A = this chain, B = another copy of it.
Amino acid sequence: MQIAILLYDRFTALDAIGPYEVLSRLPGAELSFVAAEPGPITTDTRILTIAVERSLEDVPSPDVLLIPGGPGEDVLRADRVLDWVRKAHETSTWTTSVCTGSLVLARAGVLDGKRATSHWLALDRLRELGAEPVEGERIVEDGKNVTAAGVSAGIDMALHLAGRIAGEEVAQTIQLYIEYDPQPPFDAGSPAKAPADLVARTRAASRFALAR
């Protein structure tokens, strides 16, 4: 089973690494990071650089396609990238995203009229791109599309996918191995739960590249 995670300049690391940590442990999984231009790919913070060896053409028809989010998603407009997404989607079993990765799927047209999610700051943008955003859901499955909310939601999505692909017991074994029994010290992880003034300030100060 081929799993392709698309990396690009200024992606958000945890969007990709959370799902990688889960999905790479699926029996029979062959997980690859791919990029339009293989080589060093640097994250949004500019602190972390990942060496990507495979190009889009090296993995033309993955069983699972995953697009992480990050401020750099806005530049993923090259026809070559969007064509690859469309082609991969034609034969994929699952077409998935984390955070603003769903904006790339939407831009490629694969979320037209589909229920989907994204980072909470990007739901309006997702609607403008033709999807039907769902508020307050951490994982949205519509047909073979599975989209996750912001950044850390990719871990939950990957466990959900692991269960759908390999069964509950395999997914639980991976969960136990990565000791995913989350106990956040605060309860501010969604706009519905965080203090209202903090949500307002985060919205105002958003460093997300939501400009067109």
Contact = CB atoms under 8 A, between A and B. Distances in A.
B163 A179 contact: no
Interface in A23-37: 24-25, 31-33
Given A47-B20, A171-B186, A172-B194, A178 B14 contact: yes
Interface stretch (A48-56, A76-84, A124-132): A48-56
A18 B17 CA distance: 8
A182 B199 contact: no
A9 interface: no
Interface stretch (A85-93, A101-109, A147-155): A147-155
A12 B21 contact: yes
A45 B40 CA distance: 19
B195 A172 contact: yes
A175 B120 CA distance: 13
A160 interface: yes
Interface residues of A, number: 62
Nearest to A187: B181
A2 interface: no
A3 to B, nearest CB: 10
Contacts of A169: 198
A87 B168 CA distance: 46
26 contacts: A12-B21, A13-B20, A13-B21, A18-B18, A20-B47, A21-B152, A40-B51, A49-B50, A49-B51, A99-B179, A138-B181, A151-B177, A152-B155, A152-B178, A153-B179, A156-B182, A172-B188, A172-B198, A175-B184, A175-B186, A176-B190, A176-B198, A176-B199, A178-B189, A179-B189, A180-B189
Given A180-B184, A182-B182, 19 more contacts: A20-B48, A24-B47, A31-B45, A49-B50, A50-B50, A119-B179, A120-B179, A139-B185, A152-B178, A152-B182, A155-B182, A156-B185, A159-B186, A171-B186, A172-B186, A172-B194, A175-B194, A178-B189, A181-B189
